[in-house]
Structure 1
Amino acid sequence: MTRTEFDILCARHPGAVLSGPGELDAWKIGGKMFACFGHTDTRATNDDHAVVRCADGEMAKMLIETGTARKPAYFRGAWVRLDLADLDPEEAAHRIAVSYDTIRAGLTKKVQATLPPQET
C-alpha cells in the first residue's frame, strides 16, 4: 500500500481533514488526530508507515503481539504503527475506520454537532 492509497482511505470519512506538511502530517476529525505519518528525519519524510488508534489498549497489544502492527515511537496506549508495504487494503480500511470512529466518539457533543453526519 502507498501513502496515497492510505490517504484516500482516510479522506473517505466525513469531516476528515489532512493537516501538514510539517513536523507531523495527520488526518484529523474535529481537530483530533486519528491517523498520522511522522517525520523521523528532518531531511526526508518517512511515508513507509502510519500510526492509528485502536478501540482499546488490549486490541493494540494483540495486534503488536501477532505482528499485524508494531509499537509506534512517541505514542502510548492504544496507538499502533502500520507498515504500509505489508498492509492489506482491507485491513488498512478497517484500522482507519476504527481509529476514526474511536476518536470521533471521544469528541465533545458540541464538536460532534458541527461535523458532517457519519455514514452507516
Structure 2
Amino acid sequence: MSRETVNSICKNLPGAEVSDPWGGGHDAWKVGGKMFACIGTANDGVSVKTPDIETAQMLIDAGVGEKAPYFHRSWIRLPWGTDEDELRHRLFTSYDIVRGALTKKLQATLPPRDPD
C-alpha cells in the first residue's frame, strides 16, 4: 500500500476531491467538503473514519490500525503494508460514513457509489 494506491482508490469515489488544507504535502480526501481519508506529511499511512470509538479501538486492538494522531478517537491510521483488500474496505467504509452524514440535498447531487 502506498500514497499512490490510496489516491487511485479515492479518486474513483463519486464526488471525492483531494486538497492540501494545511499545506506541506497532505492528501486530504473529502466528499461534500467533509474529510474521509488523510495522508499526512510523515507519509506513514492513511487515516480513515470508523463508525464509532468502539470500532476504532477494536481495530487498534486487533492490529489492523493505529491511533490516528491529531484526529478524533473514531479515526484510525492504516500503516503502509496494510492488506489492499482491508485498505479498500476501510476507505469505502469511511467514505460511506461521511457521505451518509451529508445533508440529503447534498447527497442527492452525488452519483451512486458502485458496490464493493
TM-score by length of 2: 0.89
Shift of 1:111: 1.3
Q: Equivalent residue for 1:31?
A: 33
What are the equivalent positions in structure 2 for 1:1-120 lying under 5 Å apart? 1-20=1-20, 22-23=23-24, 24-39=26-41, 46-84=42-80, 86-120=81-115
Alignment coverage as a number of residue pairs = 113
Give the aligned residue type for 1:20.
D
Cα distance per residue 1:15-67 (max 9 Å; x no partner):
1111127254200100000000123xxxxxx2221100012221101011111
Q: How far apart are the structure 2 equivalents of 1:52 and 1:64?
A: 12
Q: Considering Cα pairs closer than 8 Å and 6+ residues apart, tell me whether 1 or 2 has the greater RCO.
A: 1
Give the aligned residue type for 1:68.
V
Q: How far apart are the structure 1 equivalents of 2:8 and 2:74?
A: 23
Q: How far apart are the structure 2 equivalents of 1:77 and 1:112?
A: 25
The percentage of aligned residue pairs carrying the same residue is 48
Shift of 1:94: 0.2
Query: Structure 1: any 5+ residue segments left out of the alignment?
Result: 40-45
TM-score by length of 1: 0.86
Cα distance per residue 1:84-113 (max 9 Å; x no partner):
1x2111000000000000000000112112
Say what the alpha-carbon RMSD is for the aligned residues: 1.5
Structure 1 residue runs of 4 or more that deviate by more than 6 Å after TM superposition:
none
Q: How far apart are the structure 2 equivalents of 1:92 and 1:99?
A: 11
